[in-house]
A and B are shown apart, each in its own frame.
Chain A
Amino acid sequence: GAGVSQSPSNKVTEKGKDVELRCDPISGHTALYWYRQSLGQGLEFLIYFQGNSAPDKSGLPSDRFSAERTGGSVSTLTIQRTQQEDSAVYLCASSLVGASGSGANVLTFGAGSRLTVL
């Protein structure tokens, strides 16, 4: 697609429920990133994928968080048993790797998924 697409754009859930957030990266972008932005906070790294593998999961806050990527394309971030502190905007970004040119190594972000846990 022309840009990074994230769904849902807004999600309100009750504490204890599971949620899935989806990211559809730019076609051909091999690297995919998930970040979390809480109100008034910076960007917190969660995980990144190179193809379908995740070399760095160090940012996932707890074992309630997991992510997968299939076909080197779409990624899903799953939060189990949501807590109020999970409320944030979850941002996905993708980039070209190992390429030259003005677009190389630049992250293109989606609009984000705003999660509210009641």
Chain B
Amino acid sequence: AQSVAQPEDQVNVAEGNPLTVKCTYSVSGNPYLFWYVQYPNRGLQFLLKYITGDNLVKGSYGFEAEFNKSQTSFHLKKPSALVSDSALYFCAVRDKGYQKVTFGTGTKLQVIP
């Protein structure tokens, strides 16, 4: 079975400060890892993914995430938070040999002006 854990229901950060949203995963094989964002009253949008290659992946809106195999983590980061980054963030995992995509419970990011 595959699973994703997002240990923080909410993360608050001051505008201009770096932000981190945590994600750990469990799969039996090799993982494909994803971050999606849901802005208020809008649909889910893809941010970035790790499939293979460099452990540090860069995505939309200045976000990046680092794949850490030994810690089974894929934390989302941004060097300088914007108020417009306030949204609900979902981490997701897929076993490479399996098509099902499992999402975490989501982390609400609040960037304070």
Q: Chain A: residues with CB nearer than 8 A to chain B?
A: 31, 33, 35, 41-43, 45, 48, 50, 55-56, 91, 93, 97, 104-112
Contacts and interface: CB of A to CB of B under 8 A. Distances in A.
A91 B44 contact: yes
A111 B32 CA distance: 24
A106 B49 contact: yes
B20 interface: no
B90 A43 contact: yes
A116 B31 CA distance: 36
Chain A contact residues: over half helix, strand or loop, or mixed?
strand
B44 A105 contact: no
Nearest to A50: B99
B104 A42 contact: yes
A107 B101 contact: yes
Nearest to A59: B100
Interface string B82-103: 0000000010101000011111
Chain B contact residues: over half helix, strand or loop, or mixed?
strand
B100 A107 contact: no
Interface string B25-66: 000000010101000000111100101000000000000000
B99 to A, nearest CB: 6
A31 B101 CA distance: 11
Bin chain B's interface residue count.
20 to 34
Contacts of A50: 99
Contacts of A41: 105
Contacts of B92: 107
A33 B102 CA distance: 11
A107 B46 contact: yes
B47 to A, nearest CB: 10
Nearest to A112: B43
A88 to B, nearest CB: 14
Nearest to A6: B43
A48 B99 contact: yes
